[in-house]
Amino acid sequence: MSKRVVITGLGAITPIGIGKDAFWEGLMEGKNGIGKITRFDASEYGAQIAGEVKGFEPTDYIDKKESKRMDRYAQFAVAAAKLAIEDAGLNLEKEDRDRIGTYIGAGIGGIETMHAQYKKLFDKGPSRISPFFIPMMIANLAAGQVAITYKLHGPSSCVVTACATGTNCIGDAFRVIQEGKADVMVAGGTEAAISQAAVAGFAAMKALCMDHNDDPEHASRPFDKNRSGFVMGEGAGLVILESLEHAKARGAHIYAELAGYGANSDAYHMTSPAPGGEYQAKCMQLAIDDAGLQAADVDYVNAHGTSTHLNDEGESLAIKAVWGEHAKDVSVSSIKSMTGHLLGAAGGIEAVATALTVERDMMPPTINYETPDEGLDLDYVPNKARAKKVRAAISNNFGFGGHNACIVMKKYTE
């Protein structure tokens, strides 16, 4: 019999706040974390706005010498892990660290480091490349650095599935505990891709919002008729997963039970979702079935909701396919309206938000929702947070390449 898995700790580094409490307060206020890019001069770029993390000091969480050997994306992960472990009240000195693992992914990895080192290579030659270039750049070092920092010797992995990364990491870590291969997992996603190359690349694809450079607060508008592309964000979201028996034995606070996980592929196109949302619907149904629930038991969807035409339309159609005649009874919101799209970290911070929604019976809003679009007629929790009894919730993330991942959380009961 598989073990029950619960969420006992939350760590968030986000454009609207650092730490679980500041993040949640920002969500409840409908705070907008999007502004002009400050990490480089973006004045000549098509997209000049992003959801940057404000006030982040690596040395608040990491030894100064060690922090200089990490790309920003890995710094975010180590910081979020510290916050999550502290939030869970885990005393690692009393734990069997061979039974604690790290499943932390990044969709892109250390692209800032890559850019800086390539510039050195071309300007000054190969002898000037840093010996830390490769370990700072590669995407697995977020999981690696968290494991090294806290001496966690359990299963360690890095899923890279674009925007589904964080959710796949949490879902895969869930399976590890279900199967009894670990007692505790630190899981989620991290990303710090607000860099010249990434912004230019996404803009060249016409994926980014480029018509609100002078009005960043209204740029990200999931499900709104006038949406025009996603806004890049950065940060990290990690959760502490535990077997129920381990959590109960140490008297841990339980936010929610992680009950179901689904993953599949559109197998359609390298960037576009398959029309009609068929495989997104199947992925949601897989997660709901895995949780032993019916769609009608799920009261809230934390949507992928990127503010792109195809994604928002496809996800809305997928929700209608799963919930059928009850589709308008389920509430749907996208926190990307506030944070922007954190790419590989999106599923991480959205899992944090979903766990708090289930615990507190409060749903974050979709801000900037002004003009309904034809056929997109669900309850998108427009503009203001709302109280609602949430027995269970699903968090969706769908990535380039057709990667779909969904997790279901429900209220914890004995």
Catalytic positions are 163
| Three-state SS at 350 | helix
Residues 6+ apart with CB under 8 A from 341: 51, 163, 220, 230, 231, 232, 233, 306, 307
- Identify the CA nearest to 406 among candidates 281, 295, 317, 239: 281
Look up residue 239 and give its DSSP letter: E
Residues forming a β-bridge with 362: 387
Separation of alpha carbons 175 and 179, rounded Å: 6
Asked if 194 contacts 378 with a C-beta cutoff of 8 angstroms, the reply is no
In angstroms, the CA 299 to CA 175 distance is 24
State the DSSP string of 17-51.
EESHHHHHHHHHHT----EE--SS--TTSS--EEB
Q: What does DSSP say about strands 100-105 and 386-387: parallel, antiparallel, or unpaired?
A: unpaired
In total, the chain counts a number of residues equal to 414
What lies within 8 Å, CB to CB, of 87 at 6+ separation is: 9, 10, 11, 20, 240
* CA 89 centroid distance within chain: 23
How distant is the alpha carbon of residue 93 from its chain centre?
29
